Amino acid sequence: MNIIDDLILHSPALIVAIPLLGAFLTPLISKINDKMRNIFVIFIVLLTSAIVLLLANDIYAVCGKIHTYVFGGSSPVTQGGFAIRILFEVDGLNIFMALIATILAIVGVIYSWAFMKENTGLDKYYTLYLLMIAGMFGMILTGDMFNFFVFLEITSIASCALIAFWTNKGKAVDAGFKYIVVSATGALFILFAIAILYGQYNALNMAVLASKIEFSFLDNIALVVLVSGLAMKAGIVPMHMWLPDAYGRAPASVTLILVGVTQASLYGALRMIFTVYGDSLSTTLNQIGDINIELNLILGIFIVALALLTIFIGVLMALKENNFKRMIAFAAVAEIGYMILAIGAALTTIFSAAETDIGTGAMALKGGIFHILNDALDVGLLFLVAGAVYYATKETSLNRLGGLARNMKYTTIFFLIGLLAVSGMPPMNGFASKLIIYESTYQVNPILSIIAILCSILLLAVFVKVFHSAFLGPKQPKFDDVKEVPKSMLLAMGIIACIIIFIGLFPDIVVNNIVQPAVNAITDNSNYISNVIGGI
């Protein structure tokens, strides 16, 4: 099939360009009528997903294949081995994140149909929604530093405007303002670091930078600024405070995409640390006695400390919280901590000489990356359920909820699935990834896995509290006329629930076919580099 080959050939551009095209056309389409506009938006998202699946099928066919796409030109680099045009470089990690983003986008659009029906300004809502999706795909797929910054800004601005969508609520507007201030500051510092790297090596492409970089003092500063900015965008304690405000006040369908944006920022941090700085991470900084302190050790220990803090504070604040969506947001912070824990444990071990340490690091990375997928699905499902409860009862405080299980049966079942999954109970998917994380971190240091397991138990306690106070209990007279939410919302929640149960029942298929290529893509960046500037 010729057309299919052309689609696969141009797919990295089309995945970003088709949602942009849809966003540009939505104000024109919505002149016709609303139903047409919704159908158009869903069609655009489905088309993008189909292209993503084609590209994924193409990449997973050959082990270690990287799909490089050059904008405007044909050859990625010139004779000197430097890239002048913007490259998209799609390897296992990119396509893994793209699959997550695809699931979230489809579910979010289906969910929005009924959830946002009563609101005004829906054409602009769908425009911004498509722009968020396009920016997320761009952040995930790009191979150019400045292009990453541009898509980061697109995503930040669109999501800020959508967080403050209900402008009659003061808290929502306030949360939007906090979000835009935080993300603008972080993005500006990221641009500062990019400019430092550009001024030193006169390159903006990630692979070219990775090939050129040697660890001078300025690279040190650039690494620190990049990691801090992306960590703030990813919501790591103590820079997590914008996250409960934004997640808690946004419409649930927007919160779903915000989860994906947070994961995309985490992906950016992974890419910067492991690919761009990958060669210089094992440089010995200093020697105390005969043990030499390497950069990856320092960075890994710092990230592990931040991860423990993230898990602990996230869980404790979630226990205390009484607002439905804010509680789930704090739980999401704790979930992010698990990934960071795995990444830090991998950083400490994976560059060492011993073979067993390398195995442990690879296992930790596998668990962390698998947990990115599971966290996106579980937390997304919980947020959708919270939105459904708000849609049915117009009530967010858990103190005034209760006894909803009698009126909203399916929603209760979905919440139960999400509860079990997010708190790592077998046989859901959260258990599989958390098991890998526990075992790998146990070999790094037993204390880490002990704290992680304890916090996971506390997480279960959190959601037992939510389940008891929102769904169980006697039937409240003021909720007598509460009905089950419309079909499309149930369909959206059902899709995620089915994927969760599938991954939970057959985790080995997912780990072997989807997660392992991403781990391989992280652990050796030589393939990524040599794909652009030829063999080194």
Contacts (CB under 8 A) with another protein, residues 317-356: 317, 319-323, 326
**Among residues 372, 414, 399, which one has the least CA distance to residue 519?**
372
* Closest distance to another protein from the beta carbon of 91 (Å): 19
Give the residue with the Cβ less far from another protein, 419 or 490.
419
* Closest distance to another protein from the beta carbon of 507 (Å): 5
Give the residue with the Cβ less far from another protein, 333 or 490.
333
CB atoms within 10 A of CB 516: 18
Stretch near another protein under the rule CB under 8 A, chosen from 16-24, 339-347, 408-416, 449-457: 16-24
Give the residue with the Cβ less far from another protein, 20 or 343.
20
Residue with tokens 């994927």: 499
Question: Could you tell me the two tokens for 312?
Answer: 């602990």
Query: What 8-state DSSP symbol labels residue 16?
Result: H
* Closest distance to another protein from the beta carbon of 292 (Å): 11
43, 50, 117, 119: residue in contact with another protein (rule CB under 8 A): 119
* Closest distance to another protein from the beta carbon of 51 (Å): 13
Q: How far apart, in whole angstroms, are the C-alpha atoms of residue 474 and residue 455?
A: 30
Question: Angle at Cα 183 formed by Cα 387 and Cα 522, nearest 5°?
Answer: 90
Chain centroid offset of residue 503 CA: 18
Give the residue with the Cβ less far from another protein, 491 or 501.
501
Q: Which residues ranging from 378 to 397 are in contact with another protein (CB under 8 A)?
A: 397
* Closest distance to another protein from the beta carbon of 7 (Å): 11
Q: Which residues ranging from 269 to 308 are in contact with another protein (CB under 8 A)?
A: 285-286, 293, 295, 298-299, 302
Contact 239, 231 (CB under 8 A): yes
Angle between helices 446-466 and 409-422 (to 10 degrees): 170
Q: Which residues ranging from 82 to 111 are in contact with another protein (CB under 8 A)?
A: 82-86
* Closest distance to another protein from the beta carbon of 168 (Å): 6
Contact 273, 298 (CB under 8 A): no
Q: How far apart, in whole angstroms, are the C-alpha atoms of residue 297 and residue 346?
A: 10
Give the residue with the Cβ less far from another protein, 134 or 379.
134
322 φ, ψ to 5°? -120, 0
Binding mask 56-75 for another protein (x = CB under 8 A): -------------xxxxxx-
Q: Which residues ranging from 184 to 203 are in contact with another protein (CB under 8 A)?
A: 184-186, 188-189, 191-192, 195-196, 198-200, 202-203
Question: Could you tell me the two tokens for 152?
Answer: 């980061």
Contacts of range 79-86, beta carbons closer than 8 Å, 24 or more positions apart: 81/208, 81/211, 81/533, 81/534, 82/202, 82/203, 82/205, 82/208, 82/533, 83/203, 83/204, 83/205, 83/207, 83/208, 83/532, 83/533, 86/142, 86/144, 86/147
User: Judged by CB under 8 A, how many residues of this single chain contact another protein?
Assistant: 155
239, 329, 372, 408: residue in contact with another protein (rule CB under 8 A): 239
54, 177, 358, 410: residue in contact with another protein (rule CB under 8 A): 177
Going along 59-199, which residue ranges are E strands? 67-70, 87-90
What is residue 471's three-state secondary structure?
A: helix
Q: Which residues ranging from 24 to 53 are in contact with another protein (CB under 8 A)?
A: 24-28, 31
* Closest distance to another protein from the beta carbon of 160 (Å): 6
92, 143, 176, 368: residue in contact with another protein (rule CB under 8 A): 176
Q: Spell out a b/e string for 271-297, using b for 16 or more CB atoms within 10 Å of the CB, else e.
A: bbbbbbbbbbbeeeeeeeeeeeebbbb
Stretch near another protein under the rule CB under 8 A, chosen from 100-108, 256-264, 414-422, 500-508: 500-508
48, 147, 262, 449: residue in contact with another protein (rule CB under 8 A): 147
By the rule CB under 8 A, 508 interacts with another protein:
yes
Q: Which residues ranging from 406 to 445 are in contact with another protein (CB under 8 A)?
A: 426-427, 431-432, 435-436, 439-440, 442-443
Contact 448, 371 (CB under 8 A): no
